[in-house]
Chain A
Amino acid sequence: EVHLVESGGGLVQPGGSLRLSCAASGFTVSSTYMSWVRQAPGKGLEWVSVIYTDGSTYYADSVKGRLTISRDNSKNTLFLQINSLRAEDTAVYYCARVVGGSSQYFDYWGQGTEVTVSS
């Protein structure tokens, strides 16, 4: 059974950094595409980043340069490093498994980890 469990969220001061983790089970992270999607309080879903099986990465324009997606194949875990945190980064961050093909969609999601940026 596929399972995704995020961790690493919390309260951080503006300008700080955070590394989010997403532990996967039931499949191999390195053999599929994986993404992070975030949701600000009371707002809609916002795609953040994707990592492909060949290791290539892509980011939303709103976070480019401050976020880094990566994975640890030995731990079957996905990561999101967030630097220079801003108030607008406050959100629940979900990791999701991507089904690729002629399009891309998310078939499994974690329960999310909450990030609050505030002084």
Chain B
Amino acid sequence: SYVLTQPPSVSVAPGKTARITCGGNNIGSKSVHWYQQKPGQAPVLVIYYDNDRPSGIPERFSGSNSGNTATLTISRVEAGDEADYYCQVWDSSSDHEVVFGGGTKLTVL
């Protein structure tokens, strides 16, 4: 089945830009969705279809997807952005399987 690879951790200072990558074979041909999960809480959708934001998600969150890498970018990082982030794709060719990346822990220094 399809595999998504994320770095286990990313650290960034407040006010700086965080970039979380999600690698997959020709992932640019798929749509990528991103979730934020804080400790003890359910995941929250932050980006869908590569770079669309649900209502209520700050414009500081954006995404891109090309080649073998998708990226979630968080600008002007705040302490409240500290969380685990997961990328996700849907593999319609593999029994309608939904695939998640392993997750990245974002630490705000």
Residues in A lying within 8 Å of B, measured CB to CB: 35, 37, 44-47, 50, 58, 60-61, 94, 99, 102-107, 109-112
A-B contact pairs, 23 of them (CB 8 A): A37-B43, A44-B101, A44-B102, A44-B103, A45-B37, A45-B100, A45-B103, A46-B100, A58-B96, A58-B97, A60-B97, A61-B1, A94-B42, A103-B89, A103-B90, A105-B31, A105-B33, A105-B48, A106-B45, A106-B88, A110-B42, A111-B41, A112-B42
* A62 CB to nearest B CB, Å: 10
Check B59 for interface membership: any CB of A closer than 8 A: no
> Could you tell me if B43 and A106 are in contact, using CB atoms closer than 8 angstroms?
yes
Decide: A99 and B44 in contact? CB cutoff 8 A. Answer: no
Q: Mark B42-73, 1 if CB is under 8 A from A, else 0.
A: 11110011000010000000000000000000
Asked whether, in the complex, the Cβ of A44 is within 8 Å of the Cβ of B31, the reply is no
Q: Give the Cβ gap from B89 to chain A, nearest Cβ, in Å.
A: 7
Q: Decide: B101 and A104 in contact? CB cutoff 8 A.
A: no
Closest to B44 in A: A109
Residues of B within 8 A of A103 (CB): 30-31, 33, 49, 89-90
Q: Which residues of B contact A44 (CB under 8 A)?
A: 84, 86, 100-103
Cβ–Cβ < 8 Å partners of A99 in chain B: 48
Q: Is B99 on the interface with A (CB-CB < 8 A)?
A: yes
Give the distance to chain B from A37, nearest Cβ to Cβ, in Å: 8
Contact partner of B86 among A45, A58, A60, A111, CB < 8 A? A45
How far apart sit A104 and B48, CA to CA, in the bound complex (Å)? 9
Q: Which A residue's beta carbon lies closest to that of B43?
A: A109
